[in-house]
Structure 1
Amino acid sequence: MERLVGKKAPIFEMKAVSGDGQEFIKVKLDDYKGKWLVMFFYPLDFTFVCPTEITGYSKRVDEFKKLNAELLAVSTDSEYSHQAWIKGNLGKINFPLASDFTKTVSRDFGVLVEEDGVALRGLFIIDPEGNVRYSVIHDLNIGRSVDETLRVLAALQTGGLCPIDWHPGEETL
């Protein structure tokens, strides 16, 4: 797989459902120009670890907004599955769920498990100019850390060198 960090993010356009499950929308990379985008892939709706991540990020959306960042969650489920999940046991969230039903976006970002047709838990931070600045890909069984995502986002925005265990408000090198 070719690295994405330091390169322009793959261009995408996907069907999605709004966080309240009330409307179908389209989301595309250009929608996020001028803002940071935290785009994260998850395997499937109606599973076990996925709702913990989605609701965890949703609860802290204001912290991302303070850093001029938007959140977008993506899986290979349809937008109809996303809507049923939101209206069912997931509940309202504060960002859209995008459908990569064709698996093109998951493949372009290097997270698709071809034989299963699902995405690994990939997370990408894209800067306001559309460049991938950070990526991490987890095994299907391991959830991500909202704290670590916020820490890395803040570190990227310093423009400085951030040593191990750096936290916002601390000196950079």
Structure 2
Amino acid sequence: MTSEIEYLRVGMKAPDFDATAVYDQEFFPVKLSDYRGKYVVLFFYPLDFTFVCPTEITAFSDQYDRFKKLNTEVLGVSVDSEYAHLAWLQADREVGGLGNLDYPLISDLKKDISKAYNILSDDGVALRGLFIIDKEGILQHLLVNNLAFGRSVEETLRTLQAIQYVQSHPDEVCPADWQPGDRTMAPDPSKSKEYFSAI
């Protein structure tokens, strides 16, 4: 008898976790539930000391202030130990290291978090999964890339802003490529014609 795996979907509660993170050259315990009341961008990457990963990790750090202004925390996760994270943080960016980051890196050495988020590859590393979790701990967005190509920080920010907009304006929806300040539409057969007639 095979067991049925329940895969994560938007609208579900994001799985909580209890792990060790590295931030500001220090180790500390972290739980996802510690961030309740904030939005969370939780992203996974395959391994420390690799090639695509530092470009993503540092890009999120370089834009961290923009996330912070949106009441959002960024958390990075891989299956490496906290000691490997620390060593990578102590290496300069010029040689493929990370330098200092503005958000924590979480160790998932036992791979429990990667399994809970259904992004553990057959090779035992995390795929490039990205999850946006709202203030109530509900999963609002998920994206999973294969190992060889990175994600867009700008698109993550745009999606986060769209989520926040529709949550604060429940009578409106955001069309394709919506940016803050753009027109929205009403999710209604008649009222939506106002939007479509203007494009």
Task: Place the TM-score, normalised by the shorter chain, in its bin.
Answer: over 0.9
CA-to-partner distance for each residue in 1:82-136, whole Å, 9 max, x for gaps? Answer: 00000112100100000011101101101001x3110000000000000000000
Q: 1:135 aligns with which of 130, 138, 142?
A: 142
CA-based RMSD: 0.9
C-alpha displacement of 1:3: 2.9
CA-to-partner distance for each residue in 1:30-74, whole Å, 9 max, x for gaps? Answer: 111100000000000000000000000000001101111000000
Corresponding residue for residue 93 of structure 1 = 101
Corresponding residue for residue 53 of structure 1 = 56
C-alpha displacement of 1:137: 0.2
Letter in 2 for 1:102: K
Question: Gaps spanning 5+ residues in structure 1: where?
Answer: none
The number of residues matched between the two structures is: 170
User: Which has more strand, going by share of residues?
Assistant: 1
Corresponding residue for residue 21 of structure 2 = 16
Letter in 1 for 2:141: Y
| Aligned ranges 1:64-83 → 2 under 5 Å | 64-83=67-86
CA distance in 1, matches of 2:156, 2:70: 12
CA distance in 2, matches of 1:55, 1:146: 10
C-alpha displacement of 1:11: 1.2
Q: Give the secondary structure class of the aligned counterpart of 1:90.
A: coil
Question: Gaps spanning 5+ residues in structure 2: where?
Answer: 1-5, 92-96, 167-171, 186-199
Q: Which has the larger radius of gyration?
A: 2
Q: Does 1:116 align with 2:119?
A: no
Higher relative contact order (CA 8 A, sep 6+): 1
C-alpha displacement of 1:158: 0.8
The two structures have a TM-score, normalised by structure 1, of 0.96
Percent of residue pairs identical: 56
CA distance in 2, matches of 1:3, 1:161: 23
* Moved segments of 4+, more than 4 Å: none
